[in-house]
Amino acid sequence: MHRFKVSKFRNAEVRPARRESWISDIRAGTAPSCGNHIKSSCSLIAFNSDRPGVLGFVPLEGRGDDKRCVTHLGCHSDLITDLDFSPFDDSLLATGSADKTVKLWRLPAPNQALPVAPGLVLGPETLQVEVLLFHPTTDGVLLTTAGTAGKVWDLARQQPLTELAAHGDLVQSAAWSRDGALLATACKDKQLRIFDPRVKAEASQSTQAHDNCRNSWLVWTGTPEQLVSTGANQIREREVKLWDTRHLDKALTALTLDTSPGSLIPLLDPDSGLLILAGKGESQLICYEVATLQPALSPVNQCSLESALRGAALVPRRALAVLECEVLRVLQLSDTAIVPISYHVPRKTVEFHEDLFPDTAGCVPASDAQAWWAGSNKQVQKVSLNPACHPHTNFTSPLLPPIELPAPVSTHPTEMLLEDAEPSDGFSSPTSSLASPSTPSSLGPSRSSTSGIGTSSSQRSLQSLLGPSSKFRHAQGTILHRDSHITNLKGLNLTTPGESDGFCANRLRVAIPLLSSGGQVAVLELQKPGRLPDTALPTLQNGVAVTDLAWDPFDPNRLAVAGEDARIRLWRIPKGGLEEVLTKPDMVLTGHTEKIYSLRFHPLAANVLASSSYDLTICIWDLQAGVSRMRLQGHGDQIFSLAWSPDGQQLATVCKDGHMRVYEPRSSSEPLQEGPGPEGGRGARVVWVCDGQRLLVSGFDSRSERQLLLYVPSALTEGPLAVLSLDVAPSTLLPSYDPDTSLVLLTGKGDTRVFLYELLPEAPFFLECNSFTSSDPHKGFILLPKTECDVKEVEFARCLRLRQTSLEPVAFRLPRVKKEFFQDDVFPDTAVSWEPVLTAQAWLGGANGQPRLLCLQPPGMTPVSQAPREAPARRAPTSALYLEEKSDQQKKEELLNAMVAKLGNREDPLPQDSFEGVDEDEWD
């Protein structure tokens, strides 16, 4: 008679949340991976943001009328590919990434600080991590897959219990049976495999699941023998199949749906048997009931969505509103919001219905990893969902015990914050130093670590356990609104030498070489954004191909342009901007015999310029007299880069002959120091960092891997202090250094990613921060003066990104809660770099000086170091505490009274009864 039994879910209703209940103002991302992009525990929701490596999380339930704030956490140095909450500990989250590592995090409660580093790191694997899955009955057991490999980890020991036999292709999905004994995997080779990992590493059974190699997903039903798979057949029709491990040669039943390109995410509640099919990129949810006794997939209902689905997750049953007969809740991840979608079964009475809510698995694990691996099959004790029963016990995993953080000191009250971060366009893959993709290898003596900008007491207390981390680790890069872009750029010269940045800018203008003949340079006004006309732009006519160009830091209207004819042309731009073609420069400098590599103005002295050339010399020019005063010798090959020290007394170079050199131009034309540089000869850059105490060089190793090297200028012969390997790419990393924050931004021409590191003069030297990632390659990326930053928005760097047809400003900001205060820990007094300290004659005569400092504090803002300390908020007792003290009848009456109050008093007069009419004589 079972086949004629009527389902209790046949009248289930779908109730998408109203817009005011959405978690909006987010920007979700979808990584090219096999994992899901959103997961939920009983208290938190975690999802992929649009910034690579950055995770967003938010409380599952709001607090009264307060808007739920999304917090962003920098987890990895690359895309997050999958994530999973522990089934027992609501705040324990595992994340996997394209950086080939798996990390375990304890997410903070409201008003607690973000973790400065992961509690546990596994890996790196040989390929990016694809799938993560906690064990359903045991605490501390985690499945990870990367490529064709799969591992079952004992997290407490940070060692794999077993490594599954290699699959034939990429592992796309995995699922534990509900009793935790078996493991199923779906692979790109179309095979469905069943493993008993405690018996052997090889699959005990396998069969062809679907005929197409498109993404296939697995989920186990409430019975230990049956599971559901989704995939596509040979003609690309999507299908759903129900399998029995006892007869795996053929599916018990199958459904063919449609030919939509999106993969089907199956979300199955094993207690109710309800199966939700969510197609990526689609606007529909389909609900089925899985009948296991008489194998069948029975349709229940469908739900149309307002926006395309990027990911979906089920809320655990312990978090459902059971008194409202909510049998299922799906969280839809869209581009800009998380939408809760509830499934309700209508019932006449407001009470707990045991037929809809059988006992479910509790939150206390049945065993630990070693007991399970030894053969224990204990099951998780079930608990009742009836609110009248005692509240569920909370479990805290010993893997990551909660750390009691001391209250922040008053001098830096913003060090421990939950950042309500502003989404960015591309951003940023963040990590602390422990999460770095490549740990810097210290080549010098061990030194104590200091951050250089001051850390709070809470950070210092954690540094002894987790190591130092940068206060800028959660920095966010944002492409500003299109209204600030300069668009319709045409004919850009993208073949400038590798020694050149490709374009240059100051606070007023940007100069961009064009591809047209005659060495033309377009000069655009940054204060006049918008679409450029289709007609030809007024340009500077140099007559020869441009090799490099630079603005005078003390004269925003003077531009120096180097050409292939070994000459330097100085141009004077009219104050209103370039309105006509200029063919005659203000001055022409001659002295080199070969074409020029690069130009660098002196940082403190006016009218002093350094230039490097193919004649293997460096000339120091007096622009006031128009002559070369010094010529530096000693290079054996092409000069890749040169840089003035911050005090303007020394000049550093990196050369193709594999050597670093430091000169004191006023003392000698020969190098003062010389030492080994990068091994690769493809290109390099040098910049002074850490107040002139260190030299940072970006270059290549012998295997063409891009790397950073840190030197002591006075000890070049000893080699680099530290070396940090980054990635393999053809373009040289161009460093842009901010001396106020000790942050360096690194990217190459044609890259889509900007690395961000805080540099320290002592070990560990490199502290990794969020990197910025864009959707398309940039042709150049430069840092603007500090005065262009919006200090009120905690913007510590403003850059310009040159694309094929546009110029876009990029703002780097630090999430802070108390933005009404001036963040004086982020904005120290900055050097007035636009005012010269010395004249050319004074500097050439041996004089030195220091720049004037400027406070960036806006008028009317109080420094955050002087902000009053807030008393800790007193938490009101939860409603569950009051409900425990009342009888069932009292609870029922309260619910009925609340419903009546919402409906209102039916005896109240209608609004139209109070309207005033007109007198009878007015009708005439």
> What's the pLDDT at 234?
86
> What's the pLDDT at 501?
87
514-531 pLDDT per residue, tens: 988 788 999 999 999 999
Pick from 674, 571, 604, 583: nearest CA to 632: 674
Buried b vs exposed e over 247-285: b needs ≥16 C-beta within 10 Å?
ebeebbeebeeeebeebbbbbbbbbbbbbbbbbbebeeb
Q: Which residue has the higher pLDDT, 670 or 420?
A: 670
> What's the pLDDT at 777?
87
715-763 pLDDT per residue, tens: 999 889 999 988 888 888 999 999 999 999 999 988 889 999 999 998 8
> What's the pLDDT at 64?
58
- Is it the case that residue 812 has pLDDT exceeding 80? yes
- Is it the case that residue 1 has pLDDT exceeding 50? no
Strands 608-613 and 705-711: unpaired
106-141 pLDDT per residue, tens: 998 877 778 878 889 998 888 889 999 999 999 999
Buried b vs exposed e over 318-338: b needs ≥16 C-beta within 10 Å?
bbbebbebbbbbbbbbbeebb
End-to-end alpha-carbon separation of the chain, Å?
A: 77
For residue 537, give both structure tokens.
Answer: 């732009």
> What's the pLDDT at 908?
57
395-440 pLDDT per residue, tens: 889 988 775 544 443 333 333 333 333 333 343 333 333 333 344 4
Output the DSSP codes for 291-360.
ETTTTEEEEEEEEE-SS--SEEEEPPGGGS-GGGTEEEEEEEE-SS-EEEEEEE---SS-S--TTTS--E
> What's the pLDDT at 869?
77
491: confidence class by pLDDT, cuts 50, 70, 90: confident
241-252 pLDDT per residue, tens: 999 999 898 999
Q: Please state, as a whole number, how many other Cβ atoms lie within 10 Å of the Cβ of residue 231.
A: 26
> What's the pLDDT at 20?
84
863-887 pLDDT per residue, tens: 988 888 766 555 555 555 554 556 6
- Is it the case that residue 8 has pLDDT exceeding 50? yes
How many Å apart are CA 336 and CA 543, to the nearest integer? 51
| Alpha-helical runs (H) found in 453-579 | 457-466
Whether residue 429 contacts residue 770, with contact meaning beta carbons closer than 8 Å, is answered with: yes
For residue 577, give both structure tokens.
Answer: 């901007």
How many Å apart are CA 798 and CA 687, to the nearest integer? 19
For residue 28, give the DSSP letter: B
579-611 pLDDT per residue, tens: 899 999 999 999 899 999 899 999 999 999 999
Whether residue 433 contacts residue 760, with contact meaning beta carbons closer than 8 Å, is answered with: no
- Is it the case that residue 562 has pLDDT exceeding 90? yes
In one-letter notation, the amino acid at residue 552 is: D
- Is it the case that residue 143 has pLDDT exceeding 70? yes
Query: 318 phi and psi, to 5 degrees?
Result: -70, -10
> What's the pLDDT at 838?
92
Q: What is the dihedral of CA 220, 226, 227, 231, to 10 degrees?
A: 180
> What's the pLDDT at 558?
94
At which residue do the structure tokens 């090219």 appear? 32
In one-letter notation, the amino acid at residue 841 is: Q
Mean pLDDT for 8-28 is 86
For residue 635, give both structure tokens.
Answer: 């290079």
Averaged pLDDT of the chain: 84
202-211 pLDDT per residue, tens: 999 999 999 8
Q: Please state, as a whole number, how many other Cβ atoms lie within 10 Å of the Cβ of residue 143.
A: 23
How many Å apart are CA 209 and CA 212, to the nearest integer? 9
429-468 pLDDT per residue, tens: 333 333 333 444 444 333 333 333 334 444 444 444 445 7
31-70 pLDDT per residue, tens: 666 777 899 999 999 998 887 788 888 998 876 556 778 8
> What's the pLDDT at 922?
54
How many Å apart are CA 317 and CA 319, to the nearest integer? 5
Mean pLDDT for 705-717 is 91
Give the bridge partners for 139, in sequence order: 368
**Number of residues that make up the chain:** 924
Strands 486-487 and 530-531: parallel
228: confidence class by pLDDT, cuts 50, 70, 90: very high
The contacts of residue 633 (CB under 8 Å, 6+ apart) are 616, 617, 669, 670
- Is it the case that residue 161 has pLDDT exceeding 90? yes
Give the bridge partners for 783, in sequence order: 799
Please return the burial class of 820, using the count of CB atoms within 10 Å of its CB with bins 0-12, 13-18 and 19+.
exposed
C-alpha distances out from residue 733 to 475, 499, 530, 656, 924, Å: 20, 11, 30, 16, 88
Q: Please state, as a whole number, how many other Cβ atoms lie within 10 Å of the Cβ of residue 183.
A: 25
Give percent above pLDDT 90 in the chain.
Answer: 48
> What's the pLDDT at 841?
93
Half-sphere exposure in the Cβ direction for 453 (13 Å, CA): 24
Give percent above pLDDT 70 in the chain.
Answer: 86
> What's the pLDDT at 79?
85
For residue 821, give both structure tokens.
Answer: 């205060």
Q: Which residue has the higher pLDDT, 870 or 150?
A: 150
Mean pLDDT for 811-822 is 89
Strands 753-759 and 734-738: unpaired
Output the DSSP codes for 700-715.
E-TTSEEEEEEE-GGG
Mean pLDDT for 292-315 is 88
